[in-house]
Chains A and B, each alone.
Chain A
Amino acid sequence: MIENIELKILRYTPSKDIKPAFEKYIIPLVEGMTVLDLLLYVKENLDHSISFRHSCRMGICGSCAAIVNGKPVLTCQTQVSKLKSKKVEIRPIENFPVIRDLVCDFDEFYIKHREIKPYIIQSDKSKKENLSLEILQTHKEINNYFQFSLCIKCGLCFSTCPITSTNTHYLGPQALSQAYRYLADSRDQDNHERIDIVNTRNGCWGCHLAEACSEACPKGVDPSLGIQLLRRIVIFSHLK
Chain B
Amino acid sequence: MKESSLMILHYITGIFIFVLGAIHLATHSFLGVEGYSYSLQYVSIIERYRNPIFAITLELLLVTLSYHGLNGIRVILLEIKQGKLWDSVVNWLVFLLGILIVTFGSLTVMIIYFFR
**Interface contact A238-B82, CB-CB below 8 Å:** no
Q: Which residue of the partner chain, among A163, A167, A168, A235, contacts B8 with CB atoms under 8 Å?
A: A235
**Interface contact B82-A199, CB-CB below 8 Å:** no
Judge if B78 is at the interface, Cβ distance under 8 Å.
yes
* Count of inter-chain pairs, beta carbons less than 8 A: 32
Using a CB-CB cutoff of 8 Å, which residues 42-100 of chain B contact chain A? 75, 78-79, 82, 87
Judge if B4 is at the interface, Cβ distance under 8 Å.
yes
| Whole-angstrom distance between the Cβ of A108 and the nearest chain B Cβ | 14
**Interface contact A205-B82, CB-CB below 8 Å:** no
Given contacts A235-B8, A238-B8, are A199 and B79 in contact (CB under 8 A)?
no
User: 20 A–B contact pairs at CB < 8 A?
Assistant: A163-B79, A167-B79, A167-B82, A168-B82, A199-B2, A200-B3, A201-B3, A201-B75, A201-B78, A201-B79, A201-B87, A205-B3, A205-B4, A205-B75, A206-B79, A234-B4, A235-B7, A235-B8, A238-B4, A238-B8
A200 to B3, CA, bound (A): 5
Judge if A43 is at the interface, Cβ distance under 8 Å.
no
Judge if B37 is at the interface, Cβ distance under 8 Å.
no
Q: Which residue of the partner chain, among B5, B75, B78, B79, contacts A238 with CB atoms under 8 Å?
A: B5
In this complex, the interface size class of chain B, counting residues with CB under 8 Å from chain A, is 10 to 19
Using a CB-CB cutoff of 8 Å, which residues 88-129 of chain A contact chain B? none
Chain A: residues with Cβ within 8 Å of the partner, total of 17
Across-interface contacts of B87 in A (CB, < 8 A)? 201
Judge if A172 is at the interface, Cβ distance under 8 Å.
no
Q: Which residue of the partner chain, among B3, B75, B78, contacts A199 with CB atoms under 8 Å?
A: B3
**Interface contact B3-A203, CB-CB below 8 Å:** yes
Across-interface contacts of A200 in B (CB, < 8 A)? 3
Judge if A169 is at the interface, Cβ distance under 8 Å.
yes
**Interface contact A169-B8, CB-CB below 8 Å:** no
